[in-house]
Amino acid sequence: MLENAAAVRSSKRGRLLISMGISWLFDAMDVGIISFVVAALTVQWHLTPEQVGVFTSINSIGMVFGAAIAGYMADRFGRKSVLLWTLLIFSLASGLSALATSFAVLCLLRFIAGVGLGGELPVASTLVSETVPAEERGRTVVLLESFWAGGWLAAALVSYFIIPIYGWQAGFLIGAVPALYALYLRRSIEDPQRYMQSREADRPTVREQWASVWQAKYRRSTVMLWILWFTVVFSYYGMFLWLPTVMVMKGFGLVKGFQYVLIMTLAQLPGYFTAAYAIERFGRKFVLVLYLVFTALSAIWFGTAQTEGLLIAAGICLSFFNLGAWGGLYAYTPELYPTRVRSTGVGMATSFGRIGGVIAPLLVGLLVARGVELQMIFYLFFASILIGALAVFFLGTETKGVELED
């Protein structure tokens, strides 16, 4: 009987991982499509580098607000309801983006999509983290994050096979599909028991909730997470949203550039899977520091690569280590706060990190417009990633195998 009960619990956790993973995949597909759409729009609408920077940043501006608001709301009203609302917001805004006839309208819709997207990600990782036992928690959340690679792969396939034929609007129309998936999630997921028990206690005010992550007990972790999130998001959105455009700048045609980015995207999957194994074997800090250091080295390699073969090899390494680090980041963050403020803490760290996602694409656009060499831009990302690794090494605490605090 005990074996049957364990099998049922394992089956429920598996279904939860797949359910949340598919929503995660849709999120990644939406972000990934932006990077390909902007390359097409640059040609079709004759966008300047500054406009490219604005367009790739506007989504992240929405994510800043979405992460902070949804994090608090999920602690206050439940993980499930907030997750569904954020999924609907971002998918509907993505679909409407296909109807935009001007740059300003498109940017407005991408901001709204960012609000939903930024809110959904921290809530989903918190929900999964609170549901899974300590010995499987890190690996499960990294596997959840691995669906991000599937979303980028889907975005790359859509961009390679569909956008060149049917136009960039088709990519955004496909981004509306998650609105239908939300109807399925409404029935298939529930709030974690751990969260439901915590709701019986008195609920703090908004100010008390946000201030609680800066209490002496959590201040060191909060500082570390804010630095880590900012540097990782800054480097990721600066590098990967510009990746198809960078390939064009390096002399490859639009379709050829999409093909190479598709190859690089495939490297994300083994990056996640190796991180999922290592995070329970060697710990969170080990995975984050190791993968971030190799991401930094890969950034330099990519920025300085001259031949076609070296460029693809560097891009593969960049995808492998950077996305493996992302898996560790999402697994680690919810483990550092108690249940009553966990989603708030994750949302605030994520929100601060998204500021880096706003700045980086804008900064790259400005630097490119002023003739700064790509090599120097990637040195900037190298330094940023190393700062994040050092923050984890000196300020982080290991949470491998530790039960979540209630």
Q: In this predicted structure, what is the pLDDT of residue 339?
A: 84
End-to-end CA distance of the chain: 29
pLDDT digit string (tens) for the chain, length 406 residues = 434 444 445 667 778 888 888 888 888 888 878 877 887 788 788 888 778 778 877 888 898 899 889 888 888 888 888 988 988 898 899 899 989 888 999 999 999 999 998 888 888 888 888 888 888 888 998 898 888 888 878 887 887 788 888 888 888 888 888 777 777 777 778 888 877 776 655 566 677 777 888 998 999 999 999 999 999 999 988 887 677 667 667 666 555 666 677 777 788 889 989 999 999 999 999 999 999 999 999 999 988 887 778 888 888 999 999 989 999 999 999 999 988 888 889 999 999 998 998 888 888 888 888 888 888 989 999 999 999 999 999 999 999 888 877 6
Taking Cα atoms as reference points, which of 151, 152, 149, 157 lies closest to residue 324? 149
Count CB atoms within 10 A of the CB of residue 256. Answer: 13
Query: Which tokens belong to 375?
Result: 């090599």
CATH classification number, 15-185+210-395, choose in 1.20.120.1750, 1.20.120.1200, 3.90.1150.10, 1.20.1250.20: 1.20.1250.20
Both tokens of residue 309? 């073969």
From the list 61, 351, 400, the residue with the least C-alpha distance to 213 is 351
CB atoms within 10 A of CB 107: 18
Whether this prediction's pTM lies above 0.75 is answered by yes
User: How far apart are the C-alpha atoms of 50 and 33, rounded to whole Å?
Assistant: 19
Q: 69 and 118 in contact (C-beta within 8 Å)? A: no
CB count within 10 Å of CB 206 equals 11
pLDDT of residue 190: 83
pLDDT value at residue 253? 59
CB neighbours of residue 373 within 10 Å = 12
Give the model's pLDDT for residue 204.
65
Question: Long-range contacts made by residues 167-173, C-beta under 8 angstroms, separation at least 24?
Answer: 167/40, 168/37, 168/40, 168/41, 168/44, 169/98, 169/99, 170/98, 171/33, 171/36, 171/37, 171/98, 172/33, 172/37, 172/94, 172/95, 172/97, 172/98, 173/95, 173/98
Structure tokens of 406?
């209630």
Query: So where are the chain's domains?
Result: 15-185+210-395
Q: For residue 231, what pLDDT is reported?
A: 96
